[in-house]
Amino acid sequence: MKVKLLVSIVSTTFLLTGCDSRNINDLHGSWQVDSVYSFYNGFDIMNPGHEPLYHFQTDGRLRMTADNEFRYFMYNVNDDSLTYTTLDDKRIDALQILMLNDTQMVLKKEKLLLFKGTNQQRYEIKYLSKVNY
């Protein structure tokens, strides 16, 4: 219960404060996912990060690596939006940057609803830390 309350407070704080003080150069480098918070209509869960490493290069390319495999994508930052596209410019993902500094990044992704109806909310928040790679 304490973890859920803490996650809710931290998430709300990030949503209210936004990214006014971020420096886009802080994005460049390698990032690992520490944990992922998932929310759907009042149900939530925090999972450890088991995702690829994200390598944001200064030329606008994103290299995702998992074990010995890797893939390249393009990324673009516009205000607090981070988008990934394939090399032939097909949109892959769109995320909101909730926090970014030289050691930590928090990204929010709105997810598609699973059930029909109104007044629903589903999203995922990824907590990442910069790594030396």
Q: Which H, E and C letters describe 65-91, residue by residue?
A: EECCEEEEEEEEEECCEEEEECCCCCE
pLDDT band at 25 (very low <50, low <70, confident <90, very high): confident
User: Could you tell me which of 118, 96, 115 has the C-alpha nearest to residue 107?
Assistant: 96
Instruction: Give residue 22's pLDDT.
Output: 59
Rounded to an integer, the average pLDDT of 78-96 is: 95
Backbone angles phi, psi at 26, to 5 degrees: -65, -20
Instruction: Give residue 101's pLDDT.
Output: 95
User: Could you tell me which of 38, 36, 31, 39 has the C-alpha nearest to residue 56?
Assistant: 31
Instruction: Decide if pLDDT at 6 tops 50.
Output: no
How many secondary structure helices (H) and strands (E) does the chain include? 1, 9
Q: 48 or 10, which is more confident?
A: 48
Rounded to an integer, the average pLDDT of 109-130 is: 95
Q: Is the dihedral of CA 67, 36, 32, 107 positive or negative?
A: positive
Query: For residue range 41-73, what is the model confidence (pLDDT) as tens digits?
Result: 999 999 998 889 999 999 999 999 999 999 999
